[in-house]
Amino acid sequence: MTETITAATPAAPTASALFAHVATSDAAIAHFRGRLEFESDVSDVAAALAGGDPGFVLVDTRNDASWAQGHVPGAVHLPGRRIAADAAELIPAGTPIVVYCWGPGCNGATRAALEFALLGHPVKEMLGGFEYWVREGFAYDSVDGPAQLDADPLTNIAEAGLGGRAVVDGAISCAC
């Protein structure tokens, strides 16, 4: 007598309460595609800047003390509260803008992006802000001169097997 073995079909997981109200796939596609139209991450901004002419102006929207503490090399300093009054003097109309503030716990870059959009600029927000620029190991400028820290081991740069370095052989890397 031959024994017949049948594989059980795995049961679909029970939906959690988290998914009691969930968007359709089409709505999710529109949402996440839309976010990519308005946001960029630190590694993508760094890669664009490293390529020479990035096609945008990077704007640090923090106050004077924060700018002095450290900022992305090549960024324009324009605190959010001064954008409406001073942007036209510093940045030609219609120029694409990428804004950043301190970090993910701050909505200063979001407010600044709105100000630039009201002035007619195409604009994106750099997610993670200056905090993640530094945490991912990219060089920055300060009143004391250029500086750079090793990448925080909790960032995805470290997980990419890059030894805590965001730039390897001239290429900017991310584990995403």
On whether residue 17 sits in a domain, the answer given is no
On whether residue 106 sits in a domain, the answer given is yes
d(CA 42, CA 39): 10
pLDDT band for position 33 (50/70/90)? very high
The CATH code of the domain that includes 135 is 3.40.250.10
On whether residue 74 sits in a domain, the answer given is yes
The H-assigned helical ranges of 91-176 are 108-118, 129-135, 156-159
Residue 163: pLDDT above 60? no
Helix, strand, or coil here: 51? coil
Report the range of poorest mean pLDDT among 18-22, 64-68, 71-75: 18-22
* β-bridge mates for residue 100, sequence order: 60
d(CA 92, CA 144): 30
User: Given the structure tokens 């960032």, which residue do they identify?
Assistant: 155
Domain count, the chain: 1
Q: Which structural domain range is residue 61 located in?
A: 40-148
d(CA 162, CA 67): 29
d(CA 170, CA 26): 39
pLDDT per position as a tens digit, 115-150: 999 999 999 999 999 999 999 999 999 999 999 998
On whether residue 21 sits in a domain, the answer given is no
